Structure 1
Amino acid sequence: MHYSSILPDVIKVADEASEKVLHIYQSDFKVSYKADDSPITAADTAAHDIITHGLRNISRDIPILSEEGKDIPWEERKHWRRFWLVDPIDGTKDFTQRTGEFTVNIAMIEDGEPVMGVVIAPALKEAYWGVVGEGAHRRDRTGRVHSIRVAEPKAVKRVVASKNHLNEDTRAFIDALGEHELVQAGSSLKFCRIAEGHADIYPRLGPTCEWDTGAAQAVLVAAGGKVETLDGTPLKYGKPDVLNPYFIAAGSWYRHRP
């Protein structure tokens, strides 16, 4: 499949969902909580509905795994060679706290790897997309589209970290890098900051799920970066458990040291 040929349609679906999300974000929305105590709003479910409908129009035969969709058993998922991976809103805490740093995420997974991704930050009016092997792009708030690439390494590493998840293990990893500068970012925007050359490395030594990372990983890899587990292997998708292992996202310069 030539993913660049369907990419404009995927961006259009993500834009439509982002418009609805922004409308709810600017309203007096209510916050509910799922069984695991994570927050959910009407924006999550509205974006899920728009995206799943849009993706089915693009490709009726490719299954969809969404954070807000029904649980699909491994017995069914293990037969998927290719599937859409969707996080209707990554960074719901950023959404409910009105920081603006939340994203709409759509990825295509093929043989365990993200091969195409679209990430939109509705409140920031920023968008990122990429096809692995074909490059990555950013659309700024004026609507202009720019090609993006990871930065060349510098002596002082710019480390992007989550305001909500800066735990002791992460702090120890960052300190071991030596001289560094901390760049704050929410949601999957952390990957995008590296992809566009505004940061160098993002250590995630805490829990995430496949839908949290798939789209932004595709953007970062398309921009020349990498996402590896702590044993130095690429972060994979379509596992029996949708929880990710700990990982490091970085530019191409990064080499894992056990």
Structure 2
Amino acid sequence: MTLDNNQTKKIADALKVARSVAWGAADILSSFYHKDTSDLDIKDKKDGPVTEADMAANKYIVGRLKEELGTEEFGYLSEETFDVKKAEPVDHDWVWIIDPLDGTRDFIDKTGEYGMHIALAYQGRPVIGIVAIPESQKIYFASKDQGTFVETKDGTVTSIKVSDRHKIEDLYLIVSRSHRDDRFQKLIDGLPFAGKKYMGGVGGKISTLLEQESDVYISLSGKSAAKDWDFAAPELILTEAGGKFTYVDGKPVFYNQGDVKRWGCIVATNGHCHEDLCAKATAMLKEIDKN
């Protein structure tokens, strides 16, 4: 994707707004997180629980973005407002993709491993990515071709890069403590990683790659699949920090395609042996599916 000067300026201006919105949303989520669980008004839905915190953060994020940036040029795709039954793409080239609370189960269980995602996609590919980790008081942000940065609550901004580990045997996998069917378990058990680390929420997992605590994250759909709002922001903060994020066959992930579920196998790495790892995973999945 090549951006012209006007598009680059639009992205820079939008990022300033979105960073401010991210901090506001992080404060909202943190305030709910430190309440008693019985005050969260938890509702169980098909794809997992929803709380009062999800709804409050979503209202704030979408409201602020619309107020500051309008609806003429920008469309909005949010976990809490998307009509899954219609499953229609948002009719804009520029679309904000929002997950107001990534890791709701961890939020409810008080692990601290929850986050918030704001991404801006242009013609299906992310050009802004922001992942907030409220309990760490950090936001990770990136824009296309401008690198990835981490910002702390005091306003300090630091450039951040993935690790330089470059042998599969030296890499650490970041994975959920649960949410693994037998097929996925066989895949990750069969790959020769140095070890596994555990974390809730996709944004939190990808942040560990930026902090060089891990090197690989794999998503493998089963009965269900991760959604656009799980991946759009984490993808950009990873790739702008030097990592890679593709389907296992090397194809890029496109967002706002109607069906928001990202079926198949998606591999996110520090980039140094991405293709080799994808090849090994492809071969292993073929063997697993034979048996």
Tell me the secondary structure at the aligned position of residue 169 of structure 1.
helix
Aligned position for 2:200: 186
Match status 1:176 vs 2:176: no
Distance 1:227-1:37 versus aligned 2 partners, 3 A rule: closer
TM-score w.r.t. the length of structure 1 is 0.92
The unaligned stretches of length 5 or more in structure 1 are: none
Bigger proportion of residues as helix = 2
Aligned position for 2:109: 97
Deviation at 1:132, TM superposition (A): 2.2
CA contact (8 A) 2:172 2:193 kept: no
Deviation at 1:36, TM superposition (A): 0.5
Describe how 1:11-50 pairs up with structure 2 within 5 A: 11-28=19-36, 29-36=39-46, 38-50=48-60
Measured against aligned partners, the alpha-carbon deviations of 1:116-141 in whole angstroms (never above 9, x if no partner) come to 11111112212111112110011246
Distance 1:195-1:37 versus aligned 2 partners, 3 A rule: closer
TM-score w.r.t. the length of structure 2 is 0.82
Distance 1:115-1:97 versus aligned 2 partners, 3 A rule: same
Measured against aligned partners, the alpha-carbon deviations of 1:163-221 in whole angstroms (never above 9, x if no partner) come to 13233333332233314211212112111221332211101113201111111111111
CA contact (8 A) 1:161 1:182 kept: yes
Residue correspondences, number: 257
Match of 2:236 among 218, 233, 238: 218
CA contact (8 A) 2:106 2:114 kept: yes
Q: Which amino acid aligns with 2:180?
A: L
Deviation at 1:12, TM superposition (A): 0.7
Deviation at 1:145, TM superposition (A): 2.1
Q: Which amino acid aligns with 2:107?
A: F
State how far apart, in whole Å, the 2-side matches of 1:33 and 1:229 are.
32
CA RMSD in angstroms comes to 1.9
Tell me the secondary structure at the aligned position of residue 27 of structure 2.
helix
Match of 1:164 among 152, 175, 178: 178
State how far apart, in whole Å, the 1-side matches of 2:107 and 2:159 are.
28
**Rg bigger for which structure?**
2
Deviation at 1:142, TM superposition (A): 5.7
Tell me the secondary structure at the aligned position of residue 123 of structure 1.
helix
Q: Which amino acid aligns with 2:165?
A: P
Tell me the secondary structure at the aligned position of residue 96 of structure 1.
helix
CA contact (8 A) 2:235 2:245 kept: yes
State how far apart, in whole Å, the 2-side matches of 1:158 and 1:37 are.
28
Q: Stretches of 4+ moved more than 3 A in 1?
A: 72-75, 140-143
Match status 1:146 vs 2:158: yes
Deviation at 1:9, TM superposition (A): 1.5
Aligned position for 1:249: 268
Describe how 1:110-121 pairs up with structure 2 within 5 A: 110-121=122-133
Tell me the secondary structure at the aligned position of residue 160 of structure 1.
strand
Deviation at 1:223, TM superposition (A): 0.9
